[in-house]
Structure 1
Amino acid sequence: MGLLGRETRRTVADNYRLLLICLVAVAAVGGYLTYTSHVAPGTETTTRQVSSWQSSGSFTHNATVRNGTAAFREGEVLDERSVYLRQVAPVLDGAFTYTYSASDEGDLTAVADVAVQYRSVEATQNGDIVYWAVEQSLTRNGVQSLAAGERLTAPFSVNVSRAAETVRRIDSEHGRTAGRLEVAVVSRVELSGTRNGQRVDTTRTYRLPITPSQSSYRVGNSGPVTHSDDRTVETRVERTYGPLWTSGGPVLSFGGLVGAVALVYGRVTGRFGLTETERRWLAYESARAEFDEWITVGRADPVDDDVWATTVDSLVGLVDIAIDTDERIIETENGSELIVYTGDRLYRYRPPPEPGAGDSAEVHSDAETPS
């Protein structure tokens, strides 16, 4: 029988070429993985961040009640509201704050100029049209040294009722333009010095919109508004592979080569081959399992001499006769013979002996010869 079962050897023998191709392919893939991970891994480009910074500018605001009512006590401070009442708290107080962080040291000088801005703006498909713009300074800080993490603060105060009258008056001077009248607190921060070892010379502008109405005024989003940047460098490094790649390559290569050599050796030495007797037995077993529902185990009694007996050379042929005559196949209790009896004819099939049962291969081969 050999080291492997008959079914396994038949499968290997019938699919020898396909199995050999698969094993060679596995060895080739393993060789590629081994070569790329251990012999010539190659290089790849990586991006590394060497420095970064971020700045932030924001407004805080409040309004003090100057004309007390039943709802608001005089002197009460209203903080960070989106809407204030002009009659109750006409003056908006606040402060602008600027700060920055840097991955390395920073040494900047900063000047903050806070102004109230009046302008007339019309929005179009091609962008805003500014008919006119006027600014009045509210606060100007002196030059201040600013290290990373430190804060620059500039206070401001705007009488919104007076600002609403001012923007209408200026627009009247320009013939009442078609633009939207705007009031805003604008802060400009002039920065110079070094940050992360890089020269800095720039100006940042931040806006706090104020929208007056008949009885109130609305304060827009106060921030923070951030700016950031980072500096990166590209370097080429040796490519690295995971453990599945580095370990799997040699395993696949070795396994594929050993399997291919074993397959060829087994074919040359006949270890995967089947005798003719074994092939007949396997064919019978397959047919017996496939047509089991047509077969009934029973006892075969002798028949009259005038009944013709015919021996067929395969179980499949006997099944065809049973189908054509609509008869059952009877298998003797000892399994030595299968018959189909039609009344005047007896069809029989004698299964080949199982290999290894004591009969020679030649006897097995002749077992299916018609008598």
Structure 2
Amino acid sequence: MTDGLTLRLKYLCGRYWRLLVPVLVLLSAIAFAGAAAGVTSDAQPQQTTVETDSMTVETTLSTEATVTGNTTLYEQNDTLTNLPVYLRSATPEVRLIAVTTTPPDRTVSVTQQIVLRLSATRNGEVFWRDSRVLAADSTNVTNGSTQTTATLDVQQLARERLAEVRAETGNVGTVRVEVETIAVYQTDAYSGRTSAATPVRVTERAYELETPQRDQQTNVTTEQQTAAGGAGGAGPLSVSNGPALRDLGAGLGGFVALGLAALVWLTSRRIGDFDTFRQRYERVRYAEWISRGSVPATGRHARVPVETLVDLVDIAIDSEKRVIYDVSKGVYAVVDENLMYEFRENNDGDMNEFGFVPITEPTESGSTEKTSSDDGAETAAAADSWFDADTEPPDHDSDASPDDGS
């Protein structure tokens, strides 16, 4: 930390300690209270939800067709599986396969069926529907899966039932065909339902299905368990416990705030007379704007008193002048044409800007100002106690150049 920054911090402590100390003490009290409350709450038993068992049931609907018609695209008796489109002339029938899988470690009662649904809609609303079960079976599944198969004669469906419905509805609505498989399962602990469906679009030459289709249902058993020492179960002081780290951080923050409050208070006590310290602080801070010299007699200039050295430095900056420090008179002045702005030291006019006894110089009346060596030693010691080697005393030669004062 630089000397200038150290001096600045001392100045802030001395000026604002009456505000900083209570605020820091209050912050430390809040931090300690938060840490104590967190430790107390974390130590209480926490109720957590624990999964003790689960069962997943999945139903899949797929299709396959055997080539039985005349075609040059496929070999006879080839099996086509889950194609996006089947040719009616090559595969007039399609097999619908529903498979439901269950956990192999338990017995599950499954009722499964494959249903053909027809409906007529207009503007998205159904005004007629019909359904027919193509296949259904019930079984107790012990090996993890059950399968149900149904055969749909698409050629017959298109020529008969579908043609009849389209003829009756005409342009009134749109006829839709859908195949759905539904599985209802049950165990001692769980029950549920899965379903998978695909639309069937029948054209003059082909029919389309979107397979495979899947649906899954998971059943879970949970219970409430008590975890001692918070949700982490490792106690409030565990380093892996988030709330514990939060409480530890709050406690450390409280100690830091309390330590800063003590430091600010001790610094302010060490400063003592703040007005004297402030004057010396301003001398060091604005040393680059101050030069030693002789202030002219006030009879030749209109004298304008200034309350503080800071105000005088501002005047010098605004008028592009320098502040002249007359060691013999203890006067700081800015001369601007016929005006002389000056600041006079009230309580320590027998010291120069760094707290040392000035060199004996003749006054305007011809008398000589004398300062004992004992007083100079005491003053120098006081200066050292104020700044703790933050600054170095300048050359005391009154004829030194202006740069020597900075």
- Scaled by the length of structure 2, what TM-score is found? 0.66
Instruction: State the one-letter code of the partner of 1:210.
Output: V
Q: Distance between the aligned counterparts of 1:334 and 1:203, measured in 2? A: 102
Asked if the contact 1:50–1:233 (Cα under 8 Å) also holds between the matched residues in 2, the reply is yes
Instruction: Report what 1:55 is aligned to.
Output: 57
Helix, strand or coil for the counterpart of 1:106? coil
Asked if the contact 2:316–2:322 (Cα under 8 Å) also holds between the matched residues in 1, the reply is yes
Instruction: Report what 2:132 is aligned to.
Output: 135
- Residue-by-residue CA offset, 1:68-115 (whole Å, 9 max, x unaligned): 43433333333211111112221112421111349xx53212243335
Instruction: State the one-letter code of the partner of 1:217.
Output: Y
Match of 1:239 among 230, 246, 250: 230
1:65 to 2:67 alignment: yes
% of aligned pairs identical?
17
Asked if the contact 2:271–2:277 (Cα under 8 Å) also holds between the matched residues in 1, the reply is no
Task: After TM superposition, give the deviation of residue 213 of structure 1 in Å.
Answer: 1.0
1:24 to 2:25 alignment: yes
Q: Distance between the aligned counterparts of 2:107 and 2:35, measured in 1? A: 52
Helix, strand or coil for the counterpart of 2:37? helix
Asked if the contact 2:102–2:108 (Cα under 8 Å) also holds between the matched residues in 1, the reply is no
Asked if the contact 2:31–2:251 (Cα under 8 Å) also holds between the matched residues in 1, the reply is yes
Instruction: State the one-letter code of the partner of 1:353.
Output: E
Q: Distance between the aligned counterparts of 2:213 and 2:29, measured in 1? A: 61
Instruction: State the one-letter code of the partner of 1:109.
Output: S
Q: Distance between the aligned counterparts of 1:359 and 1:303, measured in 2? A: 30
Q: Distance between the aligned counterparts of 2:65 and 2:91, measured in 1? A: 6
1:83 to 2:85 alignment: yes
Note the residue ranges of structure 1 that are not aligned, 5 or more in a row.
365-371
Asked if the contact 1:327–1:342 (Cα under 8 Å) also holds between the matched residues in 2, the reply is no
Instruction: State the one-letter code of the partner of 2:126.
Output: D
Q: Distance between the aligned counterparts of 1:132 and 1:10, measured in 2? A: 90
Instruction: State the one-letter code of the partner of 1:146.
Output: V
Q: 1:248 to 1:140 in 2, by over 3 A?
A: closer
Q: Distance between the aligned counterparts of 1:213 and 1:55, measured in 2? A: 35
Greater fraction of residues in strand: 1
Where do residues 106-185 of structure 1 align in structure 2 (5 Å cutoff)? Answer: 106-115=106-115, 117-122=116-121, 128-129=126-127, 131-135=128-132, 137=134, 139-141=135-137, 143-147=138-142, 150-168=144-162, 171=165, 175-176=168-169, 178-185=172-179
Asked if the contact 2:59–2:100 (Cα under 8 Å) also holds between the matched residues in 1, the reply is yes
Instruction: State the one-letter code of the partner of 1:36.
Output: A
Task: After TM superposition, give the deviation of residue 52 of structure 1 in Å.
Answer: 2.6
Asked if the contact 1:29–1:252 (Cα under 8 Å) also holds between the matched residues in 2, the reply is no
Q: 1:334 to 1:64 in 2, by over 3 A?
A: farther
Task: After TM superposition, give the deviation of residue 216 of structure 1 in Å.
Answer: 1.0
Instruction: Report what 1:329 is aligned to.
Output: 322
Asked if the contact 2:36–2:247 (Cα under 8 Å) also holds between the matched residues in 1, the reply is no
Instruction: Report what 1:368 is aligned to.
Output: none
Asked if the contact 1:167–1:182 (Cα under 8 Å) also holds between the matched residues in 2, the reply is no
Task: After TM superposition, give the deviation of residue 309 of structure 1 in Å.
Answer: 9.9
Helix, strand or coil for the counterpart of 1:122? strand
- Which 10-residue stretch deviates more, 59-68 or 240-249? 240-249
1:281 to 2:303 alignment: no
Instruction: State the one-letter code of the partner of 2:165.
Output: D
Asked if the contact 2:108–2:185 (Cα under 8 Å) also holds between the matched residues in 1, the reply is yes
Asked if the contact 2:286–2:313 (Cα under 8 Å) also holds between the matched residues in 1, the reply is no
Asked if the contact 2:70–2:89 (Cα under 8 Å) also holds between the matched residues in 1, the reply is no
Q: Distance between the aligned counterparts of 2:38 and 2:285, measured in 1? A: 48
Q: Distance between the aligned counterparts of 1:346 and 1:221, measured in 2? A: 100
Instruction: State the one-letter code of the partner of 2:78.
Output: E
Q: Distance between the aligned counterparts of 2:284 and 2:337, measured in 1? A: 28
Asked if the contact 2:334–2:341 (Cα under 8 Å) also holds between the matched residues in 1, the reply is yes
Asked if the contact 1:10–1:273 (Cα under 8 Å) also holds between the matched residues in 2, the reply is no
Q: Distance between the aligned counterparts of 2:220 and 2:344, measured in 1? A: 88
- Scaled by the length of structure 1, what TM-score is found? 0.71
- Residue-by-residue CA offset, 1:215-246 (whole Å, 9 max, x unaligned): 11111343112222333344565535524323
Helix, strand or coil for the counterpart of 2:107? strand
1:8 to 2:6 alignment: no
Where do residues 148-297 of structure 1 align in structure 2 (5 Å cutoff)? Answer: 150-168=144-162, 171=165, 175-176=168-169, 178-194=172-188, 198-200=189-191, 204-235=194-225, 237=227, 238-239=229-230, 242=242, 243-261=244-262, 263-264=264-265, 270-274=269-273, 276-288=275-287, 292=289
Instruction: Report what 1:92 is aligned to.
Output: 94
Q: 1:210 to 1:354 in 2, by over 3 A?
A: same
Q: Distance between the aligned counterparts of 1:101 and 1:260, measured in 2? A: 66
Give the number of aligned pairs. Answer: 339
Task: After TM superposition, give the deviation of residue 212 of structure 1 in Å.
Answer: 0.8
